Amino acid sequence: MPIHHALDFVELSGYGSAAMGGHNRIRFIKDLDMEIAGRDVLIVDEVVDTGLTLNYLCRALALRNPESLAAVALFDRPYRRLVDDLPIRYVGFTVPDEFFAGYGFDVGERWRNLPDLHLVREV
């Protein structure tokens, strides 16, 4: 990026399932190390499906008074969305409800190390 920027990471954990009679719950495993008040914040996510996790993160970060808050996703599955009004400003690809592996994506902890993306036909 040819602009002055900083990079930080969060780690979230989702647990529970509406399908199992519970609720989808999300919690921070690792929070930001830097303050974001008054800063433009861009959340980078690999896949947005239901939007529950991204919505949780956006709401939590919005309480910290950033100047702006937006998201970018490599893959988007808007037909699976359970949450409206997500601030997804940039999308790489809208993809079908299929498994992809490689380039950091795994299926059952396999194939993450492949140098490019592959559609996994059978799991």
Q: What is the mean pLDDT of the chain?
A: 90
CATH of domain 11-98: 3.40.50.2020
pLDDT tens sequence across 71-118: 999 999 999 999 988 999 999 999 998 889 999 999 889 999 999 999
Band the pLDDT of 25: cuts 50, 70, 90: confident
Half-sphere exposure of 105 (CA within 13 A, CB side): 16
Residues assigned a catalytic role: 49
Q: Does 23 or 121 have the greater pLDDT score?
A: 121
Pick from 109, 64, 57: nearest CA to 86: 57
Q: What is the pLDDT of residue 16?
A: 63
Q: What is the pLDDT of residue 21?
A: 47
Going by the DSSP 8-state scheme, the letter that residue 38 receives in this structure is T
- What CA–CA distance (Å, rounded) separates 26 from 86? 16
> Hey, where are the domains in the chain?
11-98
pLDDT tens sequence across 99-110: 899 999 998 899
Q: What is the pLDDT of residue 17?
A: 58
Q: What is the pLDDT of residue 3?
A: 85
Other CB atoms within a 10 A radius of the CB of residue 37 amount to: 8
Is residue 64 within 8 Å of residue 38, measured between CB atoms? no
